[in-house]
Amino acid sequence: MDKVVNRELLDKVIAISVEAGEAILGVYNASGELEVDTKSDDSPVTAADLAAHRVLAPALEKLLDGVPVLSEEGEMPSYDTRSQWDRYWIIDPLDGTKEFIRRNGEFTVNVALIENGEPVLGVVHVPVLDITYAGAKTLGAIKRDDSGEKAIAVRAMRPRLDDKQPIEIVASRSHGAGAVDTLLERIEGSLGKTGLKNMGSSLKLCLVAEGAADLYPRLAPTCEWDTAAAQAVVEAAGGVVVDEQFSLLRYNQKEELLNPFFYVIGDRDFDWKSLLLAS
């Protein structure tokens, strides 16, 4: 990684993400019925998704010369083209469109910078709450809210186990519930009591990053733009995101943009591998 990733760049990406969040809120808070269209993959899209894309894409293209933008709401380049990219932006202008439609506030703006398959900078902005999670491996991770800015970090497992506190698991409200229930039973059998938090969008990864949860198992499909920004924050906070074989989750390695199932782990020193890979 060269010196392109610095605090000045991170602050600029935060500002752009906040502006995209304001565009989303313009739709979210408008009177009248929300119009929802369906894309070719049957996923929903709204005017807010597109409004945020129109803020993010041109602004990011201007930030770093020659660095392309891959957006869920933009044109999708072929893998022949993408495979030539050493560095690119990947964005989900509105992650959690279903949560947006339900008007529960659990949706985010996701922006990540990828270098050689690795998310090296990420910003996750929560428009309704005006909270921003951001980080880069060279800078650490931060959270901004109405009380200001603070550094965040994942938490250790051992003190919780010693104090017999529940292991906090965060999971999707909409996907993979059966597989997660089976995993919870295994964890409880080995470690004791667990607590489960259900939440939408990439906020689940951010809970691990800020030490509010210990594990997020994602045992259902996601796309690369769903995870890249929050993975950068998790790793900047000291955590790790791995696939089911415990290999690091990486980007732009294949033609399709679907992620494998994965685990977001806070305490890298705890032996999650033995537990999660047990048959």
Please report the pLDDT score of residue 34 as a whole number: 76
Binding residues for Mg(2+): 72, 92, 94-95, 226
pTM across the whole model: 0.94
The mean pLDDT values, 10 residues at a time, for the chain of 279 residues are: 84 98 94 76 84 97 96 95 97 92 93 98 97 96 97 97 95 71 91 91 95 95 96 98 96 96 97 86
Tell me phi and psi for residue 214, to 5 degrees: -105, -30
CATH dotted code for 158-276:
3.40.190.80
CATH architecture of 7-152: 2-Layer Sandwich (3.30)
pLDDT value of position 1: 46
Q: Which residues are annotated as a binding site for substrate?
A: 72, 94-97, 226
Query: Annotated binding site, which residues?
Result: 72, 92, 94-97, 226
Give the domain ranges of the chain. Answer: 7-152, 158-276
